[in-house]
Amino acid sequence: MATSIIVVVLFVAVLLIIFWRSVRIVPHSMEDVVERFGKFHRTLSSGFNIVIPGVDQVRERIDRRVQVVSFPPQSAITEDNLAVEVDSAVYIRVVDAYRATYEVANFIQAVEQLTLATLRNVIGGMNLEGTLTSRDQINRELKSVLDEATRDWGIEISRIELKGIEPPSSVQEAMEMQMRADREKRAQLLSAEGEKQALVLRAEGERSSSVLKAKGNAEAQMLTAKADADAQTLRARGEADAIHMVFKALHTSRVDPDVLAYQYLQKLPEIAKGDANKVWIVPAEMGQALQGVSSAFERIQKEVVKIPT
Looking at the structure, do residues 81 and 162 belong to the same domain, yes or no? yes
Whole-angstrom Cα distance, residue 84 to residue 87?
A: 10
Residue 245 in domain = no
Q: Which domain holds residue 268?
A: 255-306
The last residue of a domain, from among 167, 195, 221 = 167
List the pLDDT tens digit at each of the 309 positions of the chain: 677 777 777 877 877 877 787 888 889 989 999 998 888 889 998 888 888 888 888 888 898 899 988 878 888 888 888 888 888 889 999 999 999 999 888 888 888 888 888 888 888 888 887 887 888 888 888 888 888 888 889 999 888 888 888 877 766 666 667 777 777 788 888 888 888 888 888 888 888 877 888 787 878 788 887 877 777 888 877 777 766 676 666 566 555 555 555 565 665 666 666 555 455 555 555 555 556 556 655 655 555 445 454
* pTM of the model as a whole: 0.51
Residue 298 in domain = yes
Looking at the structure, do residues 73 and 162 belong to the same domain, yes or no? yes
Q: How many domains does the chain divide into?
A: 3
Residue 14 in domain = yes
- What is the distance of C-alpha 181 from the center of its chain? 26
Looking at the structure, do residues 53 and 89 belong to the same domain, yes or no? no
The last residue of a domain, from among 144, 167, 190 = 167
For residues 95 and 56, the answer to whether their CB atoms sit within 8 Å is: no
Looking at the structure, do residues 54 and 97 belong to the same domain, yes or no? no
Residue 222 in domain = no
The last residue of a domain, from among 146, 167, 188 = 167
Whole-angstrom Cα distance, residue 70 to residue 86?
A: 12
CATH number of the domain where residue 96 is located = 3.30.479.30
Residue 15 in domain = yes
Looking at the structure, do residues 56 and 127 belong to the same domain, yes or no? no
Residue 220 in domain = no
- What is the distance of C-alpha 191 from the center of its chain? 19
Residue 227 in domain = no
Burial of 234 (0-12, 13-18, 19+ CB in 10 A): exposed
Residue 173 in domain = no
Looking at the structure, do residues 55 and 80 belong to the same domain, yes or no? no
